[in-house]
Amino acid sequence: MTVLALDIGATKFAAGVVHTGKEVRDVRRVNVPREDVWAACRDLLRAVAGDATITAVGIGSAGPVDVRTGITAPLNIPEWKSGFAIVAAVQELFPAAAIRFAIDGACLALAEHHVGALRGVPNGLALTVSSGIGGGLIADGRVVLGRTGNAGHIGHIVVPGWDVPCLCGGVGCVEAVASGMSSVRWAVAQGWQGSTGIQLAEDAHRGDEIALAALHRAGTALGQAIASAAALLDVDRVVIGGGFAQSGAPLWDPLRAALAEHARLEFLRGISVVLSDITNGATLVGAGVLATGDAGTDDLG
């Protein structure tokens, strides 16, 4: 009996074997190619599965998704942008397996709720801030999926003051301002010479003015988005993971300042906002929770 977890990220696929305790082992990763995207994903799954009989697969995917039809349409994977039937494809690969599918944000929330900072927290918000911005919600102790499985899509909350076009077609989404990719793009337009969010954070810590301004901009927009989401959801705690969230004080100080400025109502004051301590792929861990069916009884009802 082998259970697999699959994370369909914007730039990387990751897959591994789910063990008890929600731990995912034997993790392999592959960059998402420009073409033949499914072949890369299939080969990764085959490599992880080996000769084992696969009984279940949990899939967490970058969004948007449609869990009713099993279709994923990640904005950052051009070949799949108009929709790929991921559940049917994985089912064909492992005919005997139960396939469970959710957006990466819901998997993130599941991971934090089962093994991370939202354990024992009935109302929480989990965010990932990396090349894009995603999120998931725990409300009254359950993960919230929404009509099509896209609930918690916090990257497309509109933040005030920056009329930046977003990949989704909208304008002023927090992802368009505050993601690692958006911050790098903005910094480069201001004359910064670098290409990754990690370099941007390193330069900010060295005192580079453009890098500091880019992180200040990102942190402020994130604080605004979190204040709006928290007002809507009345949460106990917000947890933030993802590579760009590791940027430290140059990102977190303006984030906390913007949150304090916008979250003024009594129930919003003093919300705990913490850095995720799930280091090795929260979406994958959450996909594992999904695959083992624990989400079915505890969260999905």
List residues binding Zn ion (CB under 5 A): 156, 166, 168, 170, 173
Nearer to Zn ion, 157 or 201 (CB): 157
Rama region for 161: left / alpha / beta (φ>0; ψ in -120 to 50; rest) = left
3-state secondary structure of 78: helix
Torsion of CA 191, 171, 61, 256, to 10 degrees: 70
Find the shortest distance in angstroms from Cβ 291 to Zn ion. 29
Find the shortest distance in angstroms from Cβ 8 to Zn ion. 19
Find the shortest distance in angstroms from Cβ 73 to Zn ion. 14
Nearer to Zn ion, 39 or 171 (CB): 171
Buried b (16+ CB within 10 A) or exposed e, 109-135: bbbbbbbbbbeebebbbbbbbbbbbbb
CA distance 8 to 284: 9
3-state secondary structure of 73: coil
Nearer to Zn ion, 156 or 217 (CB): 156
Token pair recorded at residue 112: 């934090």
Nearer to Zn ion, 3 or 164 (CB): 164
Nearer to Zn ion, 70 or 152 (CB): 152
Find the shortest distance in angstroms from Cβ 150 to Zn ion. 12
Find the shortest distance in angstroms from Cβ 36 to Zn ion. 28
